[in-house]
């Protein structure tokens, strides 16, 4: 039967989800990058009523973890439903126990895996095969797809095969390549799918299911007598799998026309060299093989599709008999193994074949193995050529790597970086976009236009930034007359679009421009001036490559046409206009059609503004004449100025400049240990407007610095004399970076710095140098050649800047208004180069100019005219010493807390992020003695995503000790910190006792009985520990050496487990609950944004009634889980709910009380998030609205109060004072439901309002009940 | 006794029409208004800006920070269709029409020509019996001339009229240099009726927060005198049905409005404050008053005290101002004066 197959332009995730949704009845999922979109697609389709092959809508459920999803899948399968899930990386590992069971029970199912790197020395969201290889022993068949079309095809082949074979299948494709590559493919029709799926096998699955109607037992406990035998009993099923898969592939080919084999050989039939590979790299390798064969060589590629069960006969049949040398490429590293998994299998296969085949045994081919593409490392034809070349006689390096420079163990193959083998009739275009300026959306649109409206084929791949605010994107687009098999980045583009002029300075953009290419610039300058503003090296490249250059002021057009900062439509129109890919008029008509398709449902105003933008674009487009010589005086700003630590200069800064791929192995730390506080070097300059301080209006309240999400607004109280001396020193032209640094090394690398607040040596006595040492064993001697972390550090990173500019007059400090520290000066500075321009500081500023109330103590101003001055002010500010207050000074108010140095700064969170002010506050209060266990999620990514590490250190070199274990185990990870602290503190105290005679009774007693409740008490203990070290210096006896190594534990530390609601409410709840129950002194900070933020807005158990989120498309039907109430039920856990915007003083109090509480504590911090859908500038006001409406109640539950005869629960917010509607409908997540299903929205709102009322009544009752009724404090373990 | 009247060609059972207000947001309330005796209902307004804003806002939040960060390419699930304000509004008109017998008058509030005026046609399709157009415009741009301000309102009136076949009333404010001329030009532009006057909400200053705050107060009968004057002046001079809105609280207010020349009197504040049942009470008061004075019908009294039908037409003009001034006598106790102090 003929069927019509629709061409669609979709990515691999959608292709897999399409077939999975068609062929399953139950889908249980949990989001994890890069597989999350598969579950989201399935959920949306089910919500919209899209039916599967049997005419029923699959049931989709989001679970609390991948472990939970696997359990649910296992159960659903056992009960007789066609069931699937989607996952990757650690998620797959969490499914592993169930996978053994599912396979052991011969249960047909397909898990679709967007293969991703498993976290080792670091987390990586990118792609390789380490996850699937880690579970290859589970007994699952493993079928690999190499392209988007194959994903759709083989998803079906896997489904059909598993039903027949009963062996469960992993259907695997490359994460962040195939999963996210948009391709024009042919969508399988329902008839195609129907023709492959045999309903009798589905009925068989149901017949084998558990049922009380025909009871039997599955999942027994077995003993040595039979377990082994039953394990072997399933062998025939595994033996049959290859044949079944091939038979299904053949049926598929007969029906659809695309032919697949377990091992697909392509290339010369008489090849002497063959590369064995699986995944998207096979496409690239094939392209190179074709090229080499066309140039007279004889090579081939063996694409492995069915890796498990590995069929030796099929493998041997596929291999050309002429082969003399084989390279096996693995996209995984298995440290310590003889070789990686595919290599080992190939060796074993050929080894066994030699036993049976004497001819082969006589002339066995040489087999070498190598690694490529780890964590999405680029693998392109040039690298493939290197692999083929390595098979030539005399080379044949085994255990090689390709794509990197390994100058340590010398595994890497050299390759030609400039090789271009792509056919000339393939249009190749690269676009550099700015975060959310719509570049990627427009490019996806362009692919759809070409792919679906013309006969041409289209491919799009998008490289995203790891930053959330101010990110950049690079889109790689190919169009051509034939299907495109190039799963690698474009290196020779005929068109380069630069959508942000500043990128010309920041990135090596023209590296990928082919000779004679067209360059389109979004230029904020006049046509006459644009050329002159192009940096000189870029001009030189333009001239050398003979580029044709066009300009358009897209931001101006966007402003004129109501597009705001969205320049996507404008740049897209210009691209079509000058690329000639379609006739201009036709292109414009197509763009307008696509505008209606994309935006039509959002209303006429949106369509109209886009139309206006299209119409206005071309009038602003102009060609820039290119002179024969470069004329620019603009030189790129380099971050690598004098004085930057060597490691930062040689490693961190190249990464910041997008040249991390060029770093050799020798530049890398060996164990995942990186320097703290490196975000300060990024200076991303992403804000167009920044706050400027007006001292005469300022009331010194501290709200601006408390709320600043990025810690760019800082306050100090300083001594006037220091100010004057520093000013005078600067006036004398003293070089900025002349403070001497004492560099101490211990072991290998040194992380060393002295921090802010130290005047140059010629002004005041030199600051003491401080060294933070990298732990670990002595590195190999060869490492001595490496740039050390922090060698030759300047006093501060800011001092690298010229000291020429004096602080501006407008910035002179005001008199500090409070009686404490009276007579001192107060000043605020803004690091404009790190600012995101969110405007939160201005919004929370309560001070108003009496002469013009619209002017506040901070006001947003365009950055360009003031940037250099502001940078000078900041440098000056950082050098000003803080005044050290006396012991009576309490850091318990916003006004005073602002004077504490943040040790969390310039992270990559979204502009206006509501989570980060809490972390900054924590770092201010206890940052110099803080351990943070950070659950995977937004808070771990914006803190630690290289190259910038946001947790910093103070002038003494102290700062948060931070680490991330996993998403699911964070509370336990934090507990581990506490266990070590408690144990080592105890041991240190024992050693102090033992060494009392040497230390002296007074010091020993001081150390053992120190009151460390206050800041001064802790400082005093630090001095004692320093004295201890002095007295034991040079000691050689074991006790003394032991004490020296752990004396630091005598100073009280603070352990915090930090994460989002996904962690605390869902995946990590069990651990969180257990750690609370232990009674041990671990503090939990839940940054509660009420949604999975990092993975893109999936519902968590913190998501409230009526909120629209992924997996709650029709509005969440259940209320937010009351985590605080659950924790309070223990009676001995300190619990608080805080929302800084509603009460900053309550927030500060809660943090201090929790920290001082000697047992477990839990702070649930209401955190605004862009996923909630409101203007983040008004974060604080929105938090207040959440509290005023009763959606979020502020309270503190302090078990210590019982001892005072008081009720431990104190309500800190008032009864709801505004209707919930006012809060709900100020956020898109709730408003969306009103726009899609108004009746349901009203019902859920009414229900939520009632819930708010009931909850308030309950809390009010609990807070005011007689204290005698309070539970007695439970005995601690 | 015949309380019926005609307005915009619609035969109404009495002259009381609830004006555009939150009262019409729920079909149940509209049904209650009918039960209480309302002759027609003017729906709450569909605002041009609201349409634009909802559309742009939805677009903004669907797009915001998407396709930028690798792990979160989108933030919210997309819907196949969104019911923006207009769809909800049109659906509401449909439901209201099904629920009640009385005419439903759609209310359109905006100030620019262009695509959004198609909502007038859609209101008609949804069943609206008439349109009340509210081109509320504050000419804050100093360079804008009075003529431009007038032209803007006239243009939009013409455009809306061009889109519908049902009658269109224009609700205007009192701040025109030449009200009479403006009224006649509006009629020339196609207005079938004039609703006097739009009661602008004026912002207030919060002295604690030093902020400008919106301020909403309900009207009083006292405020009716401005529209009363202009209805009396325009009656018989412009070929359009006149309606009074603002300050109609009692049956006496209704009587005054009718006598000045209004076909209907619109009310909202009274109903918001004292309940929908007030319509019934006012109708009783109206009937009683008419019976006592032997008025057979409402029509009989309409315009009976308009400027052209009173003995002293100057009472509605500048001469009246002089008369009021002369009637004032100093307050010996100074109480009135003190009460005027802030």
> To the nearest whole number, what is the mean pLDDT of chain A?
90
Number of domains composing chain B: 1
Tell me which residues of chain A, numbers 567 to 626, contact chain B at a CB-CB cutoff of 8 Å. 599, 601-606, 608-609
B72 with A40: Cβ contact below 8 A: no
* Spatial separation of the C-alpha atoms in residues A20 and A505, rounded to whole Å: 45
Confidence band of A883 (pLDDT split at 50, 70, 90):
confident
Taking the CA of residue A921 as centre, how many other CA atoms within 13 Å lie in the half-sphere pointing to its CB?
35
Question: Rounded CA gap, A21 and A14, in Å?
Answer: 10
What's the confidence (pLDDT) of residue A756? 43
**A116 given a catalytic annotation:** yes
List the single residue in B68, B115, B116 with the smallest CB-CB distance to A471: B68
Tell me if residue A738 is catalytic.
Answer: no
pLDDT band at A744 (very low <50, low <70, confident <90, very high): very low
| A1084-1097: average pLDDT | 96
pLDDT tens-digit map of A22-44: 999 999 999 999 999 999 999 99
In A1112-1176, the DSSP E strands lie at 1134-1138, 1161-1166
Alpha carbon distances (Å) from A340 to A332, A613, A686: 7, 53, 43
Whether A698 shows a pLDDT value over 50: the answer reads yes
User: Dihedrals φ, ψ of B142, to 5°?
Assistant: -60, -30
CB A598 within 8 A of CB A446: no
The DSSP symbol for A864 reads G
Q: What is the mean pLDDT of residues A1120-1141?
A: 98
Residues of B in contact with A597 (CB under 8 A): none
ipTM: 0.86
Model pLDDT for residues A191-208, shown as the tens digit of each residue = 999 999 999 999 999 999
With CB atoms and an 8 Å threshold, state whether A848 touches B116. no
Instruction: Quote the CA–CA distance of A576 and A572 in Å, as a whole number.
Output: 6
Contact A1127, A1076 (CB under 8 A): yes
Per-residue pLDDT, A805: 57
Partners of residue A367 on adjacent β-strands: A326
CA gap A245, A32 in Å, rounded: 29
* pLDDT of the residue at A731: 64
Q: Is it the case that residue A755 has pLDDT exceeding 60? A: no
CB atoms within 10 A of CB A3: 14
| Helix/strand/coil (H/E/C) assignment for every residue in A874-912 | HHHHHHCCCCCCCCCCCCCCHHHHCCCCCCECCCCCCCC
Which of A44, A435, A848 has its CB closest to that of B77?
A44
Calpha distance B225→B247 (Å, rounded):
8
C-alpha B64/C-alpha A320 separation (Å) is 53
Q: Is the pLDDT of residue A636 over 80?
A: no
Between residues A1245 and B325, which one has the greater pLDDT? Answer: A1245
pLDDT reported for residue A1275: 42
The whole-angstrom separation of Cα A909 and Cα A85 is: 30
Q: Find the distance separating the first CA and the last CA of chain A, reported in whole Å.
A: 72
Dist. CA A755–CA A163, nearest whole Å: 64
Contacts of A236 (CB under 8 A, 6+ apart): none
Q: In this complex, do B65 and A1170 lie within 8 Å of one another by their Cβ atoms? A: yes
Are A914 and A923 contacting, i.e. CB atoms less than 8 angstroms apart? no
Give domain status of residue B139, yes or no: yes
Q: How far apart are CA B69 and CA B71, in angstroms?
A: 6
Domain-located, residue B316: no
**In terms of pLDDT, which residue wins out, A1268 or A110?**
A110
| pLDDT band, residue A647 (cuts 50/70/90) | confident
* Chain A residues close to B210, C-beta within 8 Å: 848, 853
CB-CB contact of A1244 with A1230 (8 Å): no
Kindly give, in sequence order, each residue whose CB lies less than 8 Å from that of residue B65, ignoring residues fewer than 6 positions away.
A435, A436, A468, A910, A1170, B72, B75
Q: B65 near B101, Cβ under 8 Å?
A: no
Within a domain: B93: yes
Would you state the torsion angle of the CA atoms of residues B281, B286, B292, B294, taken in this order, to the nearest 10 degrees?
-150
Chain B positions in Cβ-Cβ contact with residue A1229 (cut-off 8 Å): 76
What is the model's pTM?
Answer: 0.91
Domain membership of residue B283 as a residue range: 5-309
Check residue A847 and report its DSSP letter. Answer: -
Burial class, A1033, CB count within 10 angstroms (exposed 0-12 / middle 13-18 / buried 19+): exposed
Q: What are phi and psi of A521, to 5 degrees?
A: -110, 130
What sign does the dihedral A598-A603-A605-A608 (CA atoms) show? positive
Which single residue is written with the structure tokens 């609201």?
Answer: B50
Question: Which of the four pLDDT bands, split at 50, 70 and 90, describes residue A686?
Answer: confident
* pLDDT grade for A73, boundaries at 50, 70 and 90: very high
Q: Does A938 touch chain B (CB under 8 A)?
A: no
* pLDDT tens for each residue of A259-288: 999 999 999 999 999 999 999 999 999 999
Question: Which tokens go with A759?
Answer: 């005047």
Residue A768 has pLDDT above 80, yes or no: no
Backbone angles phi, psi at B295, to 5 degrees: -85, 130
Alpha-carbon torsion angle A1086, A1087, A1091, A1093, nearest 10: -130
Inter-helix orientation angle A970-994/A1069-1078, to 10°:
30
Distances (CA, A) of B223 to A149, B131, B228: 72, 25, 9
* A residues 1113-1132 closer than 8 Å to B (CB): 1113
Closest CA to A1081 of A1026, A1136, A1132: A1132
DSSP β-bridge partners for residue A59: A26
Q: In this structure, what token pair is assigned to residue A115?
A: 């293969």
| A530-539: average pLDDT | 94
If DSSP states are collapsed to H, E and C, what string results for A1008-1071?
Answer: HCCCCCCHHHHHHHHHHHHHHHHHHCCCCCHHHHHHHHHHHHHCCCEEEEEEEHHHHHHHCHHH
Rounded CA separation A1244/B7 (Å): 41
Q: Say if B301 falls within a structural domain.
A: yes
* pLDDT of B327: 60
A1257 inside 8 A of chain B by CB: no
pLDDT at position A435 is 78
End-to-end CA distance of chain B: 49
Residue ranges in chain B whose pLDDT is less than 70: 319-342
The H or E element containing residue B169 is strand B168-172
Q: What residues contact A1055, with CB distance under 8 A and at least 6 apart?
A: A931, A933, A974, A977, A978, A981, A1081, A1082, A1083
Tens of pLDDT, residue by residue over A361-379, are: 888 999 999 999 999 999 9
The pLDDT score that the predictor gives to residue B48 is: 84
> Does some domain include residue B129?
yes
Partners of residue A603 in chain B, C-beta under 8 Å: 51-52, 54-56, 58-59, 82, 84
> What does the pLDDT average to over A459-476?
89
Sign for the pseudo-dihedral over CA of B6, B10, B11, B12: negative
Give the CATH number, domain containing residue B170: 3.20.20.70
Which residues in A lie closer than 8 A to residue B74 (C-beta atoms)?
1096-1097
Residue B280 covered by a domain:
yes
Q: Yes or no: say if A638 and A796 are a contact pair by the CB < 8 Å rule.
A: no
Would B9 be classed as within a structural domain?
Answer: yes
Closest chain A residue by Cα to residue B210: A853
Half-sphere exposure of A1140 (CA within 13 A, CB side): 32
Is residue B319 in some structural domain?
no
Q: What is the pLDDT of residue A809?
A: 45
Residues whose CB falls within 8 Å of the CB of residue A479, separated by 6 or more in sequence, listed in order: A426, A427, A450, A456, A457, A458, A459, A581
Convert A929-963 to b/e letters by CB count within 10 Å (16 or more is b): bbbbbbbbbbbbbbbbbebbbbbbbbbebbbbbbe
Percent of chain A at pLDDT exceeding 90: 78
Least confident of A102-106, A121-125, A671-675, A1240-1244: A671-675
pLDDT for res A724: 83
Summarised one tens digit per residue, pLDDT across range A308-360 is 999 999 999 999 999 999 999 999 999 999 999 999 999 999 998 888 888 77
Q: Pairing between strand A1161-1166 and A1134-1138?
A: parallel
Q: Span A581-594, mean pLDDT? A: 92
Query: Hey, of A41, A89, A1096, A1116, which one would you mutate to test binding to chain B, going by the most B CBs within 10 A of its CB?
Result: A1096
Tokens at A821, concatenated? 């520290």
pLDDT of amino acid A684: 86
- pLDDT, mean of residues A1039-1047: 97
The per-residue pLDDT for A743 is: 35
Length of chain A: 1277
pLDDT at B139: 86
- Quick one: pLDDT at residue B314? 86
Lowest mean pLDDT among A80-94, A234-248, A784-798, A1144-1158: A784-798
Q: 3-state SS string over A613-670?
A: HHHHHHHHCEEECCCCCCCCCCCCCCCCCCCCCHHHHHHHHHHHCCCHHHCCHHHCCC
- DSSP output for B224-243: GHHHHHHHHHHTTTSSSEEE
Query: For residue B340, what pLDDT is reported?
Result: 41
Interface of B with A (CB under 8 A): 51-52, 54-84, 88, 115-116, 210-211
């Amino acid at each position: 039967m003929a069927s019509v197959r629709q061409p669609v332009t979709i990515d691999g995730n959608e292709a897999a989800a399409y077939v999975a949704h068609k062929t399953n009845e139950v889908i249980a999922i949990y989001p994890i990058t890069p597989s999350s979109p598969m579950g989201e697609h399935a959920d949306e389709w089910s919500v919209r009523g899209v039916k599967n092959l049997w005419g029923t809508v699959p049931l989709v459920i989001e679970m609390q973890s991948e472990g939970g999803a696997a359990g649910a899948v296992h159960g659903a399968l056992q009960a007789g439903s066609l069931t699937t899930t989607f996952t990757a990386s650690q998620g797959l590992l969490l499914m592993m126990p169930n996978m053994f069971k599912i396979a052991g029970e011969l249960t047909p199912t397909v898990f679709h895996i967007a293969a991703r790197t498993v976290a080792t020395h670091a987390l990586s969201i990118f792609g390789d095969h380490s996850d699937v290889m880690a579970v290859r022993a589970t007994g699952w068949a493993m079928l690999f797809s190499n392209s988007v079309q194959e994903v759709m095809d083989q998803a079906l082949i896997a489904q059909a095969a598993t039903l027949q074979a009963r062996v469960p299948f992993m259907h695997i494709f490359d994460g962040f390549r195939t999963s996210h590559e948009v391709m024009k493919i042919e969508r399988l029709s329902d008839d195609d799918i129907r023709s492959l799926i045999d309903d009798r096998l589905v009925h068989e699955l149901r017949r084998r299911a558990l049922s009380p109607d025909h009871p039997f037992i599955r999942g027994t406990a077995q003993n040595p007598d039979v377990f082994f035998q039953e394990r072997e009993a399933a062998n025939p099923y595994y033996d049959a799998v290859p044949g079944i898969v091939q038979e299904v592939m053949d049926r598929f080919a007969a029906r659809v026309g695309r032919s697949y084999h377990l091992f697909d050989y392509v290339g010369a039939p008489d090849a002497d060299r063959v590369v064995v590979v699986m995944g998207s790299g096979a496409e690239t390798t094939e392209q190179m093989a074709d090229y080499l064969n066309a140039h007279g060589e004889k090579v081939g590629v063996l694409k492995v599709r069915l890796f498990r069960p590995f069929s030796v006969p099929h493998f041997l049949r596929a291999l050309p008999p002429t082969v003399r040398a084989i390279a096996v490429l693995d996209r995984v590293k298995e440290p310590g193994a003889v070789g990686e998994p595919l290599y080992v299998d190939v060796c074993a296969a050929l080894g066994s074949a030699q036993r049976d085949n004497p001819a082969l045994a006589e002339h066995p081919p040489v087999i070498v193995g190598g690694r490529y593409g780890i964590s999405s490392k680029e693998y392109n034809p040039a690298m493939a050529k290197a692999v083929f070349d390595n098979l030539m006689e005399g080379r044949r390096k085994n255990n090689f790597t390709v794509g990197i420079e390994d100058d340590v163990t010398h595994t890497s193959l050299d390759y030609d970086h400039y090789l271009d083998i792509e056919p000339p009739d393939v249009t190749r275009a690269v676009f550099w976009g700015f975060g959310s300026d719509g570049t990627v959306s427009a490019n996806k649109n362009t692919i759809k236009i070409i792919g679906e409206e013309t006969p041409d084929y289209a491919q799009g791949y998008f490289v995203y930034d790891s930053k959330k605010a101010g990110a950049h994107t690079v889109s790689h687009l190919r169009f051509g007359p034939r299907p495109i098999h190039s799963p690698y980045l474009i290196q020779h583009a005929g068109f380069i679009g630069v959508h942000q002029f500043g990128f010309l300075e920041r990135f090596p953009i023209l590296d990928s421009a082919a000779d004679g290419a067209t360059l389109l610039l979004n230029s904020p300058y006049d046509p006459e001036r644009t050329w002159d503003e192009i940096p000189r090296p870029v001009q030189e490249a333009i001239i050398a490559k003979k580029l044709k250059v066009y300009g358009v002021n897209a931001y101006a057009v966007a402003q004129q046409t109501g597009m705001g900062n969205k320049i996507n439509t404008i740049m897209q129109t210009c691209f079509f206009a000058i690329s000639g890919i379609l006739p201009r008029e036709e292109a414009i008509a197509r763009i307008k059609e696509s505008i209606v398709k994309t935006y039509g449902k959002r209303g006429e105003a949106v369509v109209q503004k886009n139309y206006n933008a299209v119409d206005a674009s071309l009038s602003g487009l102009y060609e820039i004449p290119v002179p024969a010589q470069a004329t620019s005086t603009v030189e790129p700003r380099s971050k690598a100025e004098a004085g930057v630590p060597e490691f930062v200069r040689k490693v961190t800064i190249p990464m910041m400049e997008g040249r991390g791929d060029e770093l050799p192995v020798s530049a890398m730390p060996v164990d995942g240990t990186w320097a703290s506080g490196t975000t300060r070097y990024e200076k991303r300059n992403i804000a167009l407007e920044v706050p400027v301080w007006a001292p005469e209006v300022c009331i010194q309240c501290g709200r601006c610095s408390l709320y600043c999400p990025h810690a760019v607004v800082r306050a100090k109280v300083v001594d006037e004399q220091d100010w004057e001396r520093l000013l005078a020193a600067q006036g004398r032209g003293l070089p900025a970076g002349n403070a001497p640094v004492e560099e101490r090394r211990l072991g290998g690398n040194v992380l060393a710095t002295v921090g802010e607040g130290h005047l140059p040596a010629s002004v005041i006595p030199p600051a003491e140098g401080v060294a933070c040492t990298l732990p670990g064993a002595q590195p190999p001697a060869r490492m001595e050649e490496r740039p050390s972390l922090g060698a030759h550090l300047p006093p501060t990173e800011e001092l690298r800047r010229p000291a020429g500019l004096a602080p501006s007059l407008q910035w002179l400090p005001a008199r500090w208004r409070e009686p404490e520290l009276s007579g001192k000066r107060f000043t605020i500075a803004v690091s404009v180069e790190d600012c995101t321009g969110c405007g939160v500081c201005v919004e929370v500023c309560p001070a108003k100019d009496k002469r013009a109330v619209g002017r506040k103590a901070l006001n947003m101003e365009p950055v360009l005219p003031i940037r250099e001055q502001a940078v000078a002010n900041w440098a000056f500010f950082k050098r000003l010493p803080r005044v050290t207050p006396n012991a009576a000074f309490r850091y318990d108010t916003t006004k005073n807390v602002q004077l504490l140095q943040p040790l969390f700064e310039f992270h990559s969170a979204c502009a206006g992020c509501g989570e980060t002010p809490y972390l900054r506050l924590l770092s201010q209060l206890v940052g110099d003695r803080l351990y943070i266990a950070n659950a995977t999620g937004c808070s771990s990514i914006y803190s630690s995503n290289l190259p910038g590490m946001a947790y910093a250190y103070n002038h003494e070199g102290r700062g948060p000790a931070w680490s991330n274990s996993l998403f699911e185990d964070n509370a336990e990870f934090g507990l581990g910190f506490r266990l070590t602290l408690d144990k080592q503190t105890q041991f240190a105290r024992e050693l102090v006792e033992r060494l009392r005679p040497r230390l002296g009774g007074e010091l020993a007693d001081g150390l053992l009985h120190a009151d460390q409740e206050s800041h001064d008490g802790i400082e005093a203990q630090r001095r004692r520990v320093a004295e201890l070290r002095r007295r034991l210096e040079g000691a050689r006896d074991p006790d003394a050496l032991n004490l020296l190594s752990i004396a630091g534990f005598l100073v009280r530390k603070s352990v915090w487990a930090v994460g989002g609601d996904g962690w605390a409410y869902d995946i990590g709840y069990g651990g969180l609950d257990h750690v609370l129950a232990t009674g041990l002194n671990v503090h939990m900070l839940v940054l509660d944004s009420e949604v999975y933020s990092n993975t893109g807005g999936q519902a968590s158990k913190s998501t409230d009634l009526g909120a629209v989120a992924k997996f709650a498309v029709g509005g969440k039907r259940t209320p937010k889980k009351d985590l605080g109430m659950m924790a309070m039920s223990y009676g001995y856990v300190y619990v608080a709910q805080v929302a800084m915007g509603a009460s900053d003083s309550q927030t500060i109090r809660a943090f201090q009380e929790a920290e001082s509480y000697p047992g477990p504590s839990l702070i649930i911090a209401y955190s605004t998030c862009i996923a909630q859908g409101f203007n983040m500038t008004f974060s604080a006001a929105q938090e207040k609205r959440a509290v005023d409406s009763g959606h979020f109640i502020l309270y503190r539950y302090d078990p210590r109060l019982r001892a005072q005869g008081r009720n431990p629960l104190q309500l800190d917010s008032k009864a709801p004072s505004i209707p919930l509607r006012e809060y709900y409908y100020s956020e898109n997540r709730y408003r969306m439901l009103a726009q899609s299903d108004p009746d349901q929205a009203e019902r859920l709102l009414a229900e939520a309002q009632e819930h708010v009322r009931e909850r308030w009544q309950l809390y009010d009752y609990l807070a005011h009940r007689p204290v005698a009724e309070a539970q007695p404090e439970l005995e601690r373990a | 006794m015949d309380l019926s009247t005609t307005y915009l060609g619609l035969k109404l059972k009495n002259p009381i029409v609830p004006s555009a207000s939150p009262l019409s947001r729920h079909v149940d309330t509209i049904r209650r208004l009918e039960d209480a005796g309302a002759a027609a209902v003017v729906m709450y307004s569909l605002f041009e800006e609201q349409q634009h804003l909802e559309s742009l806002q939805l677009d903004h939040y669907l797009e915001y920070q998407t396709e930028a960060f690798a792990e979160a390419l989108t933030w919210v699930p997309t819907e196949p269709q969104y019911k923006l304000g207009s769809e909800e509004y049109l659906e509401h008109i449909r439901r209201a029409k099904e629920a009640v017998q009385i005419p439903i008058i759609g209310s359109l509030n905006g100030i620019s020509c262009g695509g959004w005026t198609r909502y007038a046609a859609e209101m008609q399709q949804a069943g609206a019996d008439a349109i009340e157009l509210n081109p509320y415009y504050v000419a804050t741009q100093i360079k804008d001339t009075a003529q431009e301000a007038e032209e803007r309102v006239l243009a939009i009136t013409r455009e809306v009229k061009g889109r519908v076949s049902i009658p269109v009333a224009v609700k205007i404010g009192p701040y025109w240099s030449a009200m009479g001329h403006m009224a006649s030009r509006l009629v020339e532009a196609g207005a079938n009726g004039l609703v006097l006057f739009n009661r602008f909400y004026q912002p207030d200053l919060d002295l604690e927060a030093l902020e400008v705050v919106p301020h909403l107060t309900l009207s009083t009968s006292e405020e009716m005198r401005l529209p009363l004057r202009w209805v009396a002046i325009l009656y018989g001079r412009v070929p359009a049905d006149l309606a009074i809105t603002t300050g109609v609280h009692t049956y006496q207010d209704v009587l005054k409005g009718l006598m000045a020349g209004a076909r209907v009197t619109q009310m909202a504040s009274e109903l918001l404050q004292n309940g929908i049942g007030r319509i019934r009470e006012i109708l009783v008061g109206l009937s009683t008053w008419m019976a006592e004075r032997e008025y057979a019908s409402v029509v009989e009294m309409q315009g009976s005290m308009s400027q052209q039908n009173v003995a002293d037409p100057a009472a509605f003009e500048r001469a009246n101002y002089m008369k009021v001034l002369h009637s004032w006598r100093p307050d010996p106790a100074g109480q009135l004066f003190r009460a005027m102090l802030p």
